[in-house]
Amino acid sequence: MAKTTGKPIATSKPSKLMKKDASKEKRTSTKETPVAEQVVETKPLISVPPVVKSDTSEDKTEVTIEKKLIALYSLQQIDSQIDKIRIIRGELPLEVQDLEDEIAGLETRIDNYIQETVALDRSVSDKKNAIKDSQALIKKYEDQQQNVRNNREYDSLTKEIEYQNLEIQLSEKRIKEFQATLDLKQEEIENYQKQLQDRKNDIEIKRNELEDIIAETEKEEQELIKNSEENRKYIEERLLTAYTRIRKNARNGLAVVQIERDACGGCFNKIPPQHQLDIRMHKKIIVCEYCGRILVDDGIVNAVN
């Protein structure tokens, strides 16, 4: 009887264990679900930081504008140095060009005078031949006078002889005039040839001097041009176009100037305090309202220098 009574007790124990396992599974399932939900909720908060992103974009814009201002002022300094080099030797090419033009003019003038002298020589020769022809006719008429039959023929021959004598006198007068003009032309040709030789000597000296200056400054100029091109890469096309236009219109070639004593360094007009504050902020490129030059402050100048 004791054995029979023990069987139902043995069968009741596993049912309690199963209940305990089921309750444990329920507890673990209820605990896991909020953790999964919490992880899903926290993921977007970690991946999206809107405030930091906007700040970094603003900082990048400020740096870009500041770099543009530094590049513009550096470009202005480099271009000013290139202008100085070209000004130093800029007068020599003009002088050489003027001498070349003067030499060409002298050579043309000498050629024209030589052609005129040739024409005068030809005219003198023609007049001398005309004199010989007139003299031959006079001799012919004088011979005919010996065989005339009446006074009318004699008078006619006499008039012809007088006419030929007048032709001889006129030819001699023309020869003297041509000879005088020819002498003047020869003197002018000699003077111009002397001037031509002097100008050739001058241009030789100027060319040698120009070649020496170019040899001295060519390397420096090429380096400056290279630096200028390097700075242009940091400047957008619109600013470069404005910079080139301002430099072209400005007398001294300054398109970017520093504020000096609260005034524009180009036209020396007073700049309002608010504009000066905006210029120091480096948030935008500001131009002078009077002359249109781009304005920079001491910070940009010190950064470049």
Q: What is the pLDDT along the chain (305 residues), one digit of tens a residue?
A: 444 444 444 444 444 444 445 444 444 444 444 433 343 333 333 333 333 343 333 343 444 788 888 888 888 888 888 888 877 777 788 888 899 999 999 999 999 999 999 999 999 999 999 999 999 999 999 988 888 888 898 899 999 999 999 999 999 999 999 999 999 999 999 999 999 999 999 999 988 888 888 887 777 888 888 888 887 877 788 888 888 888 888 878 888 888 888 888 888 888 888 888 888 888 888 888 888 888 888 888 888 87
Greatest Cα pair distance in the chain: 212
Q: Between the CA of residue 250 and those of 83, 94, 196, 244, 293, what are the distances in Å?
A: 13, 22, 40, 10, 9
Residue 264, strand partner residues: 259
Kindly tell me the burial class for residue 252, based on how many C-beta atoms sit within 10 Å of its own C-beta (0-12, 13-18, 19 or more): exposed
Q: Which residues pair with 295 in a beta bridge?
A: 257
Residues contacting residue 234 through CB under 8 Å, at least 6 positions apart:
67, 68, 71
Strand partners, 270: 263
Instruction: Name residue 259's beta-bridge partners.
Output: 264
CA distance 31 to 53: 37
Q: Choose the CATH number for 81-227 among 1.10.287.1490, 3.30.420.40, 3.40.718.10, 3.40.30.10.
A: 1.10.287.1490
Q: What is the pTM of this model?
A: 0.48
Q: Return residue ranges of the chain for CATH 1.10.287.1490.
A: 81-227
Q: What tokens does 53 get?
A: 């992103």
